[in-house]
Amino acid sequence: MIRNLSIKKKIVIWFTITFLLNLSVMMGLTFVIGQSVFDTDIKTQLRVQVDANAEEIEFLNSSELEEEYEKGDQFLEYNKGYLEIDDDFCDYINGIYTCLVDSDNNLLYGEAPVRLTADQLFTHTVVEPLTYQGEKYYIYERQLHGHNLEGLWLRGVASLSEGTYLLQTIAHWVLLLVPVMAALSVLGAYIITRRSFAPAEKIIEAADSISSGNDLSRRIELPKGRNEFHTMADSYNRMFDRLDAAFQREKQFTSDVSHELRTPVSVILTQSEFSLEMAESEEDYREALEVIQQQGLKMKDLISQLLFFSRLEQGREPLQIAACNLSSLVSSICDEQEALYTAAHPLYVSPADSSLDRESIKAPRLLLLRQIPDDVIAPVDSRLFGRAVTNLLSNAYKYSEGKNGYITVSLLQLEDPSRIQLHISDQGIGIPKEHLEKIFDRFYQVDPSRTASQAGSDSGPAEAGAGLGLSMVREIVHLHNGSISVESRPGEGTTFTVTVPAAL
């Protein structure tokens, strides 16, 4: 039951209970202590007052009366003389009465709120409690000593009800004020918690509307301020940013995949329709089948790349990291790519001159320069890393196509921190600055036409591109805790730099 209460209510209830408990305990203690202090105090006062008053009474005979007469003093005829009661004698002060009685309990002077019975007379030589007509008193009696004073008693009576009047008044006010104060502070607690928790309600409301409305672009907006809820809202908003971006990427990805697959499928369909309806000779059929085959290969390539990506993402392509001789790996990839290029671009030899000297080369040519020291070892998954290097090198060839120039592959071992760097530079068409950041995104192509033209017609090292190569390279490099960067100048060339740690 309590568990299901809102935090706001829990805080207010807890606050109220502890507040009232605190107050009652404090009040209780104050009263108990106050009462005991008052008790001790009144007893002391009673004794002190009666003792002090005893000093103010003197017996005078008639001859002494004239000498001792002082204005303000009281004179009572007593035992053939006079009792002089000094004006300092206090018959009532601070709830304490003092009276003078003779041994027959006749009141000679002063006031007494209690009348004692014969058996109670002069038995209170220490301060004692007494209940008289339902009221509580302390009583203290003391016999006077001195010339002609024997047989006289001073009786002090302190009224407890009069003495505790102040305490009672305080209690009365406290009882009146406590509920008011409690109500005020509970109200305050309620307002503060309500205000403090208002952002939580906003967060819930925004999160609900985001999840129910599928509007991932909505964000939680809180009124100005800076508390835990703002920090929470910020992290929620950051999470929504990431979700939104992932969702957008997913949407973009699906649309890109469909788009990439639509072109080869339409080409295949057009070619099939054409050959079914129009083809007359075996040559027509062959041509159509070749086009269909090319498109089929392009689709196969795209699908295998996509599969590779999804395996990487789902962790189904586990890394098999082992110490790998990068020098040999990179060299063999260079050999492969160079061979593919040469096969696609045979040297043109003049019929008049069959020797292969430089003068006889007519077509633009790309030369591969290698700066690869021996035995550079690094912990990599050779299959994946090789795939990344192949991609970069084949791009270098692809985007230098039709130009004369060099492609340089250099492998460097760097210290502090110990790492390996691979540079692949070309003197090809380059990449405009504004595209540099995006070329690593999936399906991003600077200008699809410049690859598309090659994709269909090339039988060279360059594969039909769909803009997936570099994003795959980056993914692989990141899996190796490495980084990749690019520098490029349109028309001058491009350099990709891959850096991986030299040790795990």
Q: 301: closest CA among 428, 391, 392, 431?
A: 391
- In angstroms, give the least distance from the CB of 312 to ligand ADP: 15
The CA distances from residue 218 to 205, 233, 242, 316, in Å, are 11, 12, 13, 34
Judged by CB under 6 A, does residue 439 bind ligand ADP? yes
- Select from 5-13, 29-37, 220-228, 424-432 the region that touches ligand ADP (CB under 6 A): 424-432
- Comparison of 439 and 484: residue with beta carbon closer to ligand ADP: 439
User: Which DSSP symbol is given to 348?
Assistant: P
294 binds ligand ADP (CB under 6 A): no
Binding of ligand ADP at residue 498 (CB under 6 A)? no
Residues in 102-131 at the binding interface with ligand ADP, rule: CB under 6 A: none
> Does residue 425 belong to the site contacting ligand ADP (CB under 6 A)?
no
The radius of gyration computed from the CA coordinates of the chain, to the nearest angstrom, equals: 55
User: Exactly one of 157, 324, 388, 466 binds ligand ADP (CB under 6 A); which one?
Assistant: 466
Are residues 400 and 458 in contact, defined by beta-carbon separation less than 8 angstroms? no
158 near ligand ADP, rule: CB under 6 A: no
233 binds ligand ADP (CB under 6 A): no
Indicate the Cα dihedral angle 386, 388, 392, 395, nearest 10°: 100
CA distance linking residue 345 with residue 165, whole number of Å: 118
Q: Taking the alpha carbons of 296, 297, 298, 304 in that order, is the dihedral positive or negative?
A: positive
Q: State how far the Cα of 107 lies from the Cα of 86, in Å rounded to an integer.
A: 17
- Of 240 and 496, the one with the shorter C-beta distance to ligand ADP is 496
What would the DSSP string read from start to end of 64-79? HHHHH--TT-EEEEET
> 144 vs 466, which CB is nearer to ligand ADP?
466
Q: Least distance from C-beta 298 to ligand ADP, angstroms?
A: 11
Q: What are the helix (H) ranges across 102-164?
A: 160-163
Per CB under 6 A, 470 contacts ligand ADP: yes
Which of 53, 408, 445, 454 binds ligand ADP (CB under 6 A)? It is 445
Cα separation, 206 vs 212, in Å, equals 10
Q: Does 446 contact ligand ADP by CB under 6 A? A: yes
427 Cα distance to chain centroid:
51
- The answer to whether 268 contacts ligand ADP (rule: CB under 6 A) is no
Q: Which residue's entry shows tokens 């699809």?
A: 448
> Look-up: residue for tokens 């971006």?
245
Rule CB under 6 A: say whether 428 interacts with ligand ADP: yes
Which lies closer to ligand ADP via its Cβ, residue 244 or residue 301? 301
Cα atoms found within 13 Å of the Cα of residue 437, Cβ hemisphere only:
1
> 192 or 340: whose CB is closer to ligand ADP?
340
CB 332 within 8 A of CB 411: no
**The tokens of 190 are what?**
């309620």
x/- track of binding to ligand ADP for residues 359-398 (CB under 6 A): ------------------------------------xx--
Tokens at 359, concatenated: 């003068």
Number of chain residues interacting with ligand ADP (CB under 6 A): 21
46 scored as a contact of ligand ADP (CB under 6 A): no
If one asks whether residue 408 binds ligand ADP (CB under 6 A), the answer comes out as no
* 305 touches ligand ADP by CB under 6 A: no
Tell me the window of 144-152, 197-205, 336-344, 463-471 that interacts with ligand ADP (CB under 6 A): 463-471
Where do contacts with ligand ADP occur on this chain (CB under 6 A)? Answer: 395-396, 399, 426, 428-431, 439, 444-446, 451, 465-471, 494
